Homo-oligomer: A and B are copies of this chain.
């Protein structure tokens, strides 16, 4: 019997609704497999600003540090969006959480589901059988570099830095993942222009001999942005820095047919965090139309992380069953009108 403490950060918008269904599924897993999962709810994002003035209250951060895993819904509220220069914003909480928890690797699987091929803007024959895993560096680069304005306010700067050590730790993870998959790793960079990219290339090249079974290649980010659409099946594991990863992983999400299908894991040396890649989708809040599958699949990644692959596969099979039975939210099938809760309950029941 496994006993685990999971901190849940429902966040804003549809975050609480999708988290509720993922927790429902995790409870079903605990019941069926005889584990004990304890769920501990905390504030982060706009709701935390409203309640405490801070997007990441210390109480929340402490709880995350002590947890075995963190499940996050989504953060963000339009009232903070209109002024990106506002002194306190929900995103700051997320960025600080990543940094404080040392979540240096964001892992996003991108899969073309057979049942959803018609929903993608891409032609079915181009994307069928796509199965890629994107490793995005998450605690370095331009996101966390020095930034500011000149004294007169008329110019601004953002500094991007990377150290060999920062590159090495995520690179080892990406190579190891490739070893368990199709043995192909692609580094996406802009080494023809950026010094940080040249350091990435150098460092990754130096580690490659430790993984002789993995074929390593390189793609400039502009070309990668094309190739991901032209021929996504060519990719197995993609490794890239923070900002490029933000852009190309969101771009690649179009392959899945719905943003509501894409999970992610953020891992480091201690506690790991799991969240759907979609945002807080404020327009859908409270309407019961949010797709909970991205969060449920994030919970499956959490189970993998706990060393419970059978449990994780059971959740993924239950999701496949829901897709097969067309028990899906309206963006995937406007005719059937299943709610967020109905989809979540169906999947939990199938576990």
Contacts and interface: CB of A to CB of B under 8 A. Distances in A.
A146 B233 CA distance: 37
Nearest to A244: B247
A226 B250 contact: yes
A157 B163 CA distance: 9
Contacts of A194: 142, 147, 158
A99 B259 CA distance: 40
B222 A192 contact: no
Contact of A84 (B143, B163, B192): B192
A225 B248 contact: yes
Interface string A232-246: 000000000001101
A254 interface: yes
Interface stretch (A9-17, A39-47, A118-126): A118-126
B89 A192 contact: yes
A156 B254 contact: no
A177 B300 CA distance: 49
| A contact patch SS | helix
Nearest to A145: B157
B250 A230 contact: no
B250 A195 contact: no
Contacts of A21: none
Nearest to A148: B195
B254 A149 contact: no
A225 B250 contact: yes
A222 B225 CA distance: 12
A111 interface: no
B254 A195 contact: no
A323 interface: no
Given A157-B195, A226-B259, A251-B251, 5 more contacts: A155-B161, A157-B162, A190-B243, A225-B248, A225-B250
